Structure 1
Amino acid sequence: MTDIHSPFTLGTITLQNRFVMAPMTRARANEDGTPGALAAEYYRQRASVGLTVTEGTQPSDDGQGYPLTPGIYTDAHVAGWREVNEAIHAHGGHVFYQLMHAGRMSHPDNTPHHRQAVAPSAIPPGEQIYTLGGMKDIPVPRALTTDEVAATVEDYAYAARRAIESGADGVEIHGIAYLVHQFLATSSNQRTDRYGGSIVNRARFAIEVAQAVVAEIGADRTGIRLSPGFTGFGLDVGPEGPDLFRYLVGELDKLSLAYVHIVHYGEDDILHDFRRIWHRAIILNRPGRAREDIGKDVASGLADLESYGTHVLANPDFLDRLAANAPLNTADHRVFFGHQPEGPAAGYTDFPALESEQAGVRA
């Protein structure tokens, strides 16, 4: 039985344990997309996990969906992220950037060029999105031409190269909710070219992005995040969904990616199928996982690593608290996104550490 606290070799790097910090949008970057002044400290505080997957990071102007999210495609972005990487590495951690192209989940007010969002098809999600001017209806996106799809694939590859240039250990392709998932879903993809219709065609974009990133930085530095059970943002993969994801995971396995990161909402049958189909690392995230279940998926062999989001957000010393069987800080959703009235550190780098709490008790 494998212990979640044991080391793990992921590609060419050795992780100090099998805990993963899940990617979490914080919307605290500078307006030009460079990480904010406290980003290095935020990630440093949480670097005791084996692998940090950063917040979603846009690969281009078109890829930005929300205000104050970071990018990784300019020299300024590279310089800003280098400080984050150095902080994580100095404390024994490793880091993959999550490359997130928001696709139709965007608004012109949130992007540097203020243009209409792009998507597989000109179908809006029927939802609102946060902007610095308040909540607004998401406009109808513009359907990418076939040539523009190929150019978008190259945007991912370019961003991956800039990530490695900044000192990242690798990148994770975000395949949930946003552009990659929008190509998979019949509700958002009604194309009639080679990227629409059949399972093979709808999976093509995800596979081509992975191929391009692998060609740029190597398979050992490339992961992907998927969720067969995700149905938010107006996305519906249709009755073929399980077969689509089995096909996609099988095709991606041929590329020998470092890992697949699964966010799991449904039955475990498909996870067992992935365990059989996929021959490298599996990271498993179960939203709302109970504390007593931490480590069970690694122990059973269903996953090689387990990822945690809000627990790590609110507890920079998450592993120390588990080891001491200490209470966990509560994550406050009101401070998840954007700068807070109480100051830039509020809800970001000001969560109390266990040793400071214990010192207070002793005093």
Structure 2
Amino acid sequence: MGLKERVGGGKQGGRWLAGPDGKPAPEAGAKPGGVFPTVLTAIAILACSTFGAAHASPSTPAFEQKITLLDNSSPGKPIAGATLEIHGVPWTLTTGTDGSVKLGLVPAGRIEVTVTWKSAYNPEPVTIARSTITIDRDLDAKVVADVYDVELKILSRTGNPVANAEVWLAGVPLGATGADGVVRATQVPGWHEPNRKPYPVTAYWFGADVSPGEVNVTSTGTYVLTAKNVATLTVRVVGAQGQGLGAAQVEIKTSSGIAVFSGVSNEQGVVSVEVPYGNYDVRVEYKGFENAASATVDAPTGTVLTVATSVFAEAFGIAMSFGTFALWMVAASMVVLMIAVAIHEYHVYRRKKLPQLFGVPKVKRTERA
């Protein structure tokens, strides 16, 4: 026999049924790839099939039929490897790389199609589409499945993006979130009832588990999730008198050495960074003065860490400890004292020496006659 079994004569009244890949359809219950033993068996199977009209007559027209399966994104992308079951037909068809299957000549009428697919996100095939297709002309029917492109946006409890977190959806790695906290997943099935289940979302940030829980995918779009176990670490850089030191260099690392933050404090000497729960090492530097401390973040209220330096005062842009400041004061006092002594000596010298240098004018006396 050829690639297709034909029942009836001519396209008008003819009825074609093709198995997977356009090969002859197998008997009911037969393994894929089998052939019809007799034409009578083929006629018996076709008579029981609702592939087209229930009781097709020789005058029933037939049409070339192709089905293309697309996801529900914009524009729709083909879904490869999905299984199509046609009600009343005892075999299944599998979509190719272009998402399509060819049915060959199909009698006018309606066919009911159920599509299942095992995606990377599902441990077993799930139903992604059910459709009734009307056959009234040669047609490439498009079936849009409940399969979506989604964005997962990971935010902290305060609503800030969790950037550079590694994310998995149902165990499938999606990569790292961007500066906006977003990571993308393509062709994610939305499961039909009663099998609908949410997908687990796993996220690690700076080596710590901040997984937000689960997401129920129902459409293409952005799903906002809140990371767990994230709080604010606030570092205050102060001097010896408790004064805030603005523009101090601050470095924050996890206890395992992963860099979390490197930057400068604000005018009050404060740096606030959202971090996952854990232990952190903090190092600060201000104009040559350094110090280090450790902090633990383990509560939603966050942690405030004050790191003191020995900066006592600043003069002419130079930071000084108390000892240095005292030496400066002594030196300044000595300079002032020396200047005062010099001025005093100058005045004494002026009073003693200046009249002699310039001489005292003499008054001439006149003799009396």
Q: Which TM-score band applies after superposition, normalised by the shorter structure?
A: under 0.3
Between Structure 1 and Structure 2, the one with more helix by share is 1
TM-score, with length taken from structure 2:
0.18
Pick the structure with greater CA Rg.
2
In the superposition, the TM-score normalised over structure 1's length comes to: 0.18
**Larger RCO, structures 1/2 (Cα 8 Å, 6+ apart):** 1
Indicate the structure with greater strand content.
2
